């Protein structure tokens, strides 16, 4: 009994804003401000979506978001696995020092470094560049940490055998270690894609050119440009959620482990 009351009321809390978003997105401008409120639009219309796709740079911003989410994810997975590989499988002095240095970086949030990052990229002439976001993925402490944990469980005998057979480190990395990390890489990939797709602060600061803006930046701009046109804003919110929602449903099985893994990130 308690179970159903609890489960039900939490589900309602989760759903109400989404319900309101969807219902508003299909209302006409006039129906928006009807009192009493129309819970379900009496005359549903796609007007808001048509207007939304006419908003300058809206469609383009979806492309931009897709581009940086995909390229940043690829870069993060590659570079973090390379680092984790060196920190676990190639014996050299300084492994521990470098790893603990990297871990301290987890304590420095982007909310503190976004101003100097803006300054550095301005100096490098890399503001308003989507590719600059790939640079941020050269080093990702969280991904290195997770992949290191995974690689520590790979038996060293496997590596030694390959070395004796004459394989070089690159071959060992790409043909032995990477395939064994599949699950962790998939989980990290999903988390990374979602976090880049949803990121707001850095794109807001670094991409002031509308043609380069990402979806969240254009979306937040709607609220000042199209004041009170909430049908438009809700349509925009809905459109931004759908791709990530579809991705989430597709990878849910994979994600079950990923969610608790991601919990360490904070």
Partner 1 sequence: MRNAKIRNAVMAFTFLLPSLLGFAVFSILPMLVSATVSLSDWDGLHELTLFDDAAGFFREYGVGLSHYAAIFRSAELWQTLGNTLEFVVTYVPLMLIAALGVGLILTQKRRGSGVLRALYYIPVITSWVAGALVWRWALSPEYGIVNAILDIVGIRGTMWLQSEDWAMPGIVLASVWKDMGYFGLMFFAGLRSIDQGYYEAAQIDGAGRVRQFINVTLPMLSPTMFFVIIISIINSLQIFPQVMVMTPGGGPGGSTMVMVERIYTRAFSYYQMGYASALSWVLFAVIFIMTFVQMKLQEGWVTYSV
Enumerate residues 113-142 that contact partner 1 by CB under 8 A.
113-120, 122-123, 135-140
In the shown chain, the binding pattern of residues 9 to 28 toward partner 1, with x for contact by CB under 8 A and - for none, equals -xx-xxxxxxxxx--x----
Residues that contact partner 1, how many (by CB under 8 A): 90
The HSE-up count of residue 175 (CA atoms within 13 Å, CB side) is 10
CB of 46 to partner 1, least distance (A): 19
Residues 140-159 touching partner 1, rule: CB under 8 A, are: 140, 144
CB of 150 to partner 1, least distance (A): 16
CB of 194 to partner 1, least distance (A): 6
Residues 31-90 touching partner 1, rule: CB under 8 A, are: 32-33, 35-37, 79-80, 82-83, 85-87, 90
Q: Given candidates 59, 66, 70, 98, which one binds partner 1 under the rule CB under 8 A? A: 98
Residues 215-254 touching partner 1, rule: CB under 8 A, are: 215-216, 219-220, 222-224, 230, 233-234, 236-237, 240-241, 244-245, 248-249, 252
CB of 112 to partner 1, least distance (A): 5
Q: Given candidates 26, 58, 102, 145, which one binds partner 1 under the rule CB under 8 A? A: 102
Q: Given candidates 6, 44, 63, 183, which one binds partner 1 under the rule CB under 8 A? A: 6
Instruction: Encode the chain in three state secondary structure.
Output: CHHHHHHHHHHHHHHHHHHHHHHHHCCCCCHHHCCCCCCCCCCCCCHHHHHHHHCCCHHHHHHHHHHHHHHHHHHHHHHHHHHHHHHHCCCCCCHHHHHHHHHHHHHCCHHHHHHHHHHHHHHCCCCCCCCHHHHHHHCCHHHHHHHHHHHHCCCHHHHHHHHHCCCCHHHHHHHHHHHHCHHHHHHHHHHHHHHHHHCCHHHHHHCCCHHHCCHHHHHHHHHHHCCCCHHHHHHHHHHHHHHHHHHHHHCHHHHHHHHHHHCCCC
Residues 170-209 touching partner 1, rule: CB under 8 A, are: 173, 194, 197-198, 200-201, 204-205
CB of 175 to partner 1, least distance (A): 15
Q: Given candidates 49, 57, 67, 169, which one binds partner 1 under the rule CB under 8 A? A: 169
Please measure the distance between the N-terminal and C-terminal CA atoms of the chain and give it in whole angstroms.
33
Contact flag: residue 30 with partner 1 (CB under 8 A): no
Q: Which stretch binds partner 1 (CB under 8 A): 41-49, 52-60, 112-120, 179-187?
A: 112-120
207: which residues sit within 8 A by CB, 6+ positions away? 127, 128, 130, 213, 214, 217
Chain centre distance of CA 51:
27
Question: Closest CB to partner 1 among 179 and 263?
Answer: 263
């Amino acid at each position: 009994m308690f179970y159903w009351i609890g489960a039900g009321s939490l589900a309602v809390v989760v759903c109400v804003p989404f319900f309101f978003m969807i219902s508003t997105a299909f209302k006409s401008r006039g129906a928006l401000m009807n009192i009493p409120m129309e819970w379900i639009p009496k005359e549903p219309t796609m007007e808001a979506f048509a207007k939304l796709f006419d908003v300058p740079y809206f469609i383009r911003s979806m492309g931009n978001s897709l581009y940086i989410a995909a390229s940043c994810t690829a870069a993060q997975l590659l570079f973090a696995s390379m680092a984790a590989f060196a920190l676990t499988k190639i014996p050299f002095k300084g492994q521990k020092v470098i790893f603990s240095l990297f871990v301290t970086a987890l304590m420095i949030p982007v909310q503190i470094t976004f101003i100097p990052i803006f300054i550095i990229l301005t100096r490098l002439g890399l503001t308003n560049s989507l590719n600059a976001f790939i640079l941020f993925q050269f080093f990702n402490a969280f991904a290195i940490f997770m992949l290191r944990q995974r690689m520590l469980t790979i038996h060293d005998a496997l590596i030694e055998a390959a070395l004796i057979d004459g394989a070089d480190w690159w071959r060992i990395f790409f043909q032995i270690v990477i395939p064994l990390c599949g699950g962790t890489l998939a989980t990290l990939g999903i988390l990374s894609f979602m976090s880049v797709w949803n990121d707001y602060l850095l794109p807001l600061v670094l991409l002031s050119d509308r043609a380069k803006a990402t979806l969240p930046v254009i979306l937040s701009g709607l609220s000042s440009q199209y004041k009170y046109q909430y049908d438009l804003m809700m349509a925009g919110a809905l459109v931004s959620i759908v791709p990530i929602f579809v991705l989430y449903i597709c990878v849910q099985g994979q994600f079950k482990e990923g969610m608790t893994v991601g919990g360490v990130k904070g």
